[in-house]
Structure 1
Amino acid sequence: MQPPFFNALSDSKRILIAGMGGGFDVFCGLPLYFALREEGREVTLANLSFISFGPLTPHPLAPALVEVTPDFHVQHGEYFPEYYLARWLATQGEAGRVFAFKKQGVKPVLTAYRALQKQLRLDTIILVDGGTDALMRGDEADLGTPHEDAVSLAAVNELSGIKRYIVSLGFGIDAFHGVAHWNVLEATAELARAGAYLGSFSLTPDMQPVQLYQDACEAVFEQMPRHISIVNASILSALHGHYGDHHLTERTRGSELWINPLMSQYWCYDLPAVAERLQYREALLNTLSMSDVDRVIRGHRAEIVPRERRTLPI
């Protein structure tokens, strides 16, 4: 048997895998990228980017969309995960490109997604969350880092004529940002009742797509040694059987981590159902900037009484 997620993808031919929270989220989609490529699918990578693109940035496709390729001029060590990933992909015989969405509000990001949907003739979009805070609906005791995830979720939910899914990788990581994983499992249960939870499956080190994911992470970490991804470092630690307060990067020294086997497990969901749970989604639709997004989230939090924080009884 296989998770319903793969049955849902059975007739998908042109797929976009996009990091929804920015930073290194797109790397969390690499095992899925390589697995689907092995099946002969046409798969493209994208990411909500933390880079400030200027008006003279090459390869603009829309006001908030840039095609990042190895011919960009980047100083060694500069924070630019999309560039270093594109360069690594080219060394593997893959298309050396990663599309980058500028970190803006929902309206410009939606316009960019529509442009990419048309250009690539996409039939499926899979948003990838490094962690699990994309499942927070808005009234939890702590939302983690919701801004970028909410923008991507609200934008892709507005697309028509395309299948849309969310996968998360890194269960437990968002405890670092205050998320109660009681709420993650609560959300999964609610989505299961709605028929929108599409199963989960584990990654293991013997899988070739996982090995390529690790190679990509290690290559990019070497190029950006001051910016090693805490999320992906934690997932790699879990993949290799580490548990508890294990630190792969000095960036986490001084904090207590909970590396655990569930970190290397994909959790899969139908995107419109996740978007329907987001209590401030409609208020996000007219946002133009991240400042607008911040005002919406702060306004929502000011109007509600957050639910009591609960912890897993295990």
Structure 2
Amino acid sequence: MPRSLTPPFFAALEDSRRILIAGMGGGFDVFCGLPLYFALRAEGRDVTLANLSFSTFSPLTPRPLAPALIEVTPRTPVRPGEYFPEAYLSRWLAMQGEPSSVYATEKTGVQPALAAYRALTDHLHIDTVILIDGGTDALMRGDEPDLGTPHEDAVSLCAVNELTGLRRFMVSLGFGIDSFHGVSHWNVLEATAELARAGAYLGSFSLTPELPPVQQYRDACEAVFGQMPRHTSIVNSSILSAIHGQYGDHHASERTHGSPLWINPLMAQYWCYELTAVARRLQYREALMDTVTMTDVDRVIGAHRASVAVRPRHTLPI
């Protein structure tokens, strides 16, 4: 691609050398960052993976950096079939000769998450954080007709927004997936347009099946899905289907049978933003800052929804 047409996101990363790619919404979100991880590693960058985890950690699990943070390695105990995508990803990375630590933050409010991110970025001397959203609901500001599943996304967004002295970006992958949770993608495009006016939309680009980082992403997903057959990621299965040209009501996972899907080429596209501008749009950001638990987060979002005038639903006019 001519350099003059390269998405601004890559220009913004030009001087980044020690990068943290973190899944912001929990579950398998970190897998949505793997194409970027492999591409940046191939350029010689030092890249580390992290994820807000849905796994349950033992109180005896060592937490040397922060109370809400653990380092998952190939030696981390995991029972066969247990829901622990970070552990299976760590083992797969080790088999590929890649750095195998995947850092996991617990489901908490903003203050413990912020402490975890500060400890981790200081420990690793990180100069750039890229938060990854599997889907697009992290762009919801708070008065849309439906917010999707905002709790974990909002906590990660608010925590990383408080970090200083480093670059911060938010990237989403999986346009259309959050319609399952009621999100109107009219609002997703509205948010992107608003961020473009603010100079904070850094472009988009597609993942195609012949790209080596995409092939590594597919291999990682397939390997981990095989270890967790009852917990196959709907988001990543849908993205991989889109990458390989499936369209419409195509089901790659038994978990989606009976629910209509819209697999489409836009699901295979990264959408890139300056994180601070995304955080600034979040209407209940200040109220979230003192939260400690997910119960606190739920209370804040519920109170906001009860006090705000929810806008009418729009559908895409195409």
Q: TM-score band (shorter)?
A: over 0.9
Q: RMSD of the TM alignment (CA)? A: 0.6
Q: In structure 2, which of residues 9, 33, 38 is the aligned counterpart of residue 5 of structure 1? A: 9
Tell me which amino acid in the other structure corresponds to 1:120. Answer: L
Percent identity for Structure 1 against Structure 2: 75
What is the correspondence of 1:1-314 to structure 2 with a 5 Å cutoff?
A: 1-58=5-62, 60-314=64-318
Judge conservation of contact 1:59–1:68 (CA < 8 Å) in 2. Answer: no
Distance 1:68 1:311 in 2: 42
- Secondary structure at the aligned position of 2:160 is classed as helix
CA distance in 2, matches of 1:44, 1:283: 30
Kept in 2: contact 1:157–1:275 (CA 8 A): yes
> 2:269 is aligned with what amino acid?
Q
Distance 2:310 2:186 in 1: 14
TM-score for the superposition, normalised by structure 2: 0.98
Query: Shift in Å at residue 79 of structure 1?
Result: 0.1
CA distance in 2, matches of 1:122, 1:253: 42
Once residues 61 and 122 of structure 1 are traced to their aligned partners in structure 2, the CA distance between those partners, rounded to angstroms, is 15
Distance across 2 between alignment mates of 1:72 and 1:93 = 18
Deviation at 1:309?
0.4
One-letter amino acid of the structure 2 residue matched with residue 168 of structure 1:
S
Q: Structure 1: how far apart are the matches of 2:244 and 2:63?
A: 38
Structure 1, unaligned runs of 5 or more: none
What secondary structure is seen at the aligned counterpart in 1 of 2:65? strand
Q: Is the 1:58–1:72 Cα contact (8 Å) retained in structure 2? A: no
Aligned residues: 314
Q: What letter matches 1:291 in structure 2? A: T
SS in 1 for 2:204: strand
Contact kept? 1:62, 1:112, Cα under 8 Å = yes
**Counterpart code for 2:11:** N
TM-score (norm 1): 0.99
Contact 1:157/1:272 (8 A) holds in 2: yes
TM-aligned CA deviation for residue 53 of structure 1 = 1.4
- Deviation (angstroms), 1:60: 3.8
Structure 2: gaps (5+ residues): none
Q: Aligned partner of 2:104: which letter?
A: A
Moved more, 264-273 or 59-68: 59-68
Write the letter of the residue equivalent to 1:113: Y
CA offsets 1:171-207 (integer angstroms, 9 cap, x no match): 0000010000000000000000000000000000000
